[in-house]
Amino acid sequence: MILHNIHFRDFDIRRDDTLTHDQFPDLRAEAIVANPPFSLKWKSDSDPTLKDDERFAEYGKLAPKSAADYAFVTHMLYHLAEDGAMAVVLPHGVLFRSGAEATIRKAIIDKNYLDAVIGLPQNLFYGVSIPATILVFKKNRQNSDILFIDASKEFEKGKNQNYLTDENIEKIFQTYTEREEKEKYSHIATLEEIKENDYNLNIPRYVDTFEEEEEIDIEAVAKNLQDLQKDEEEIQEKIGEFCDELGIEKPF
């Protein structure tokens, strides 16, 4: 916080396990931006009262011990103000994993909290090569559809990792703020579509990025092979003549 020029009197940081011991129970934030550790193991069975905790109880299940992603999400949703907005960077698995996560995902969608799903390129973050996604949440949404953006293919390659250019970022931002549908880039999915996909949010189900392969002219390929074979025969014939002149054995 100090490195971001925020005076120490203006923030309050506490060290603890925030999932099992909420340090700011009365906090209601108007804006939340977070990048929790991907699929962190957590002690969901360490305290039997956690299943009744207000941060988790209304979603039907606790996040599995092997992946606390949705525990972080619902913890933050609890602390999000009714007119607030929240963006969280998460692994793609949260979009389609089954079990308890599917139950929580369905509950979040049915509550109409999920506003957008943004797919990012792979190898974008230090120490994490897998592609990530940004989930955007709002509690006061007037619509029930969900915007999907597939930005996974628009990036620049760096020496050690990929990065988004200003143009890449602007396109994501503009598509989200104007809620636009763009061919092979974004799609606004209705709640009916989401239900038809059994609440699976895997981006390719909603944004078709398929590119048709160029048609192959079989006759032209065959003719090219014939020409190559003829050229090869002529070259071998010349090599044979050189070998006869030099008095050496032909290599074929």
Which pLDDT tens digit goes with each residue over 142-180?
A: 999 999 999 999 999 888 889 999 999 999 999 999 999
Domain at 2-205, CATH class = alpha beta
- Which residue positions in the chain have pLDDT lower than 50? none
| Per-residue burial over 71-87, b = 16 or more CB atoms within 10 Å of its CB, e = otherwise | bbbbbbbbbbeeebbbb
pLDDT at position 58 is 94
Q: What are phi and psi of 133, to 5 degrees?
A: -135, 150
pLDDT at position 235 is 83
Nearest-angstrom CA–CA distance, 89 and 103: 20
pLDDT at position 195 is 97
Helix (H) or strand (E) holding 148: strand 146-150
pLDDT at position 251 is 74
pLDDT at position 97 is 96
Q: What are phi and psi of 241, to 5 degrees?
A: -65, -45
Q: Which two tokens stand for residue 59?
A: 């979603």
In terms of C-beta density within 10 A (0-12 exposed, 13-18 middle, 19 or more buried), how is residue 178 classed?
exposed
**Contact status, residue 60 vs residue 81, Cβ threshold 8 Å:** no
| Per-residue burial over 203-235, b = 16 or more CB atoms within 10 Å of its CB, e = otherwise | bebbbeeeeeeeeeeeeeeeeeeeeeeeeeeee
Extents of the domains making up the chain: 2-205, 215-252
